[in-house]
Structure 1
């Protein structure tokens, strides 16, 4: 498998082609951040110049920080005027103020929005300081519809969605043990606070799954078990649910990974298929 190039695999030969993920693998997180930023810049620029605009959904967590920092640096150094036409969205947020240490928006602002001097009207954030998560979910869904529009019964279509994967298989703020069948057609969902986590607001399954480009960022040895569970053992999880929804529309997801995130078994399967 060549560093930084596409690779595909299927855990089961009879699996629907839409389920076969596309892999881009780099040796280290630094390589992924630097080369991934260039790759993303080129794709995004092409879209904006062709369609006058594009939309990008950013995730929180530790995995994307390096990539977002590189994107912010790359685009700011290049003085790319077309960047002003990009709409930036939060994929999910904890119900905390935007200055809070655990705020996803705070990380996005530090790594991307400030370096690029993004105009506030192009930044669409979940108001973590809102008093009621369910009400904020409704407000954010309305904002998404206003910005992207959706003719008739169709969903708004996002261009680029970056997501991480938690060790339990959660992604965005979609967690195992919830009821995706009840949430599929909600643009934005909310979850109540528990002993383990704050209340949250998140883009819903169908909105994320129907993006033109769905990219999972997976780095580090600690992600090996869950990645193998999802892609080899087909363990039910929110990530698996998104892959299934992608298959229904005939699309695959892309996994940007470093070598440490791939177990020997998964790497062998990837190499066999590529």
Structure 2
């Protein structure tokens, strides 16, 4: 295991998500003492379906927590290019559990095919929005383009697939080599086929990245990601760096060697 690997293992899925939800609340509170706003990246899957409901329930029970928070900008590390009303969109769940209930959260959504049929154009638009939000001053498009180098998420909540993909960055796909901030994935092996995703270049600049990984079907990919596999074969391995924590259940962590 790399010296930078931080792996936390819990006996079952329910305990894992409860612990991550509690830790998330603490982390946002900590970051709120250091920043005037927080740039939070989120993925879909179980992050949206399991973690967000727990966070929402906690905030409902303890509304005073938000009094100590700064505004939180939510960015989608990837999104399915499906209609805005589709249950498959991560943004649907972000709205349901977070932004519709708690004004402290602001969602920056990817343009859906309803309003932007071309996923490449949707990716360009999302990249431009990132540049504009992160830019400290209004300026020309050339000036905004130069600011791309300073765009960085403060915190990201990520999942990983059994093939080692994360966001919508899949093994051996051209999107792994994409430059800039956001790109389009036009042939995802996991449906739906068309997606918009942040690039590896951008995601690797994230200050704090948490992967939540569960299930025996991900055990081999997790071990490869932590023990230094080629990122072209196991994309998540590119994120095994300082600032990354791997939150796992026992089934997913069974192949991880704590001694390296």
TM-score calculated relative to the size of structure 1: 0.80
Contact (CA 8 Å) 1:218, 1:256: kept in 2 or not? yes
Counterpart selection for 2:163 from 155, 160, 168: 168
| C-alpha distance in structure 2 between counterparts of 1:131 and 1:209, whole Å | 29
| C-alpha distance in structure 1 between counterparts of 2:79 and 2:201, whole Å | 18
| C-alpha distance in structure 1 between counterparts of 2:194 and 2:46, whole Å | 19
| C-alpha distance in structure 1 between counterparts of 2:169 and 2:148, whole Å | 24
- Aligned partner of 1:186 in structure 2 is 180
- Aligned partner of 1:110 in structure 2 is 96
- Aligned partner of 1:61 in structure 2 is 45
- Aligned partner of 2:10 in structure 1 is 26
For the structure 1 residues 100 and 84, does the alpha-carbon distance in structure 2 shift closer, same or farther, using more than 3 Å as the test?
A: farther
Kindly indicate whether residue 56 of structure 2 is the aligned counterpart of residue 72 of structure 1. Answer: yes
Secondary structure of the structure 2 residue equivalent to 1:116: coil
State the aligned residue count.
244
For the structure 1 residues 115 and 31, does the alpha-carbon distance in structure 2 shift closer, same or farther, using more than 3 Å as the test?
A: farther
Kindly indicate whether residue 21 of structure 2 is the aligned counterpart of residue 37 of structure 1. Answer: yes
| C-alpha distance in structure 2 between counterparts of 1:51 and 1:106, whole Å | 27
Contact (CA 8 Å) 2:221, 2:234: kept in 1 or not? no
| C-alpha distance in structure 2 between counterparts of 1:84 and 1:128, whole Å | 28
- Aligned partner of 1:209 in structure 2 is 204
Gaps of 5+ in 1: 1-8, 11-16
Q: How does 1:136-155 map to 2 (within 5 A)?
A: 136-149=122-135, 154-155=149-150
| C-alpha distance in structure 1 between counterparts of 2:75 and 2:189, whole Å | 28
Counterpart selection for 2:249 from 251, 255, 258: 258
Q: What is the Cα-based RMSD across aligned positions, in Å? A: 2.4
- Aligned partner of 2:195 in structure 1 is 200
- Aligned partner of 2:83 in structure 1 is 97
| C-alpha distance in structure 1 between counterparts of 2:220 and 2:156, whole Å | 23
For the structure 1 residues 233 and 39, does the alpha-carbon distance in structure 2 shift closer, same or farther, using more than 3 Å as the test?
A: closer
| C-alpha distance in structure 2 between counterparts of 1:47 and 1:233, whole Å | 29
> 1:117, CA displacement in angstroms?
4.7
TM-score calculated relative to the size of structure 2: 0.84
Contact (CA 8 Å) 1:155, 1:207: kept in 2 or not? no
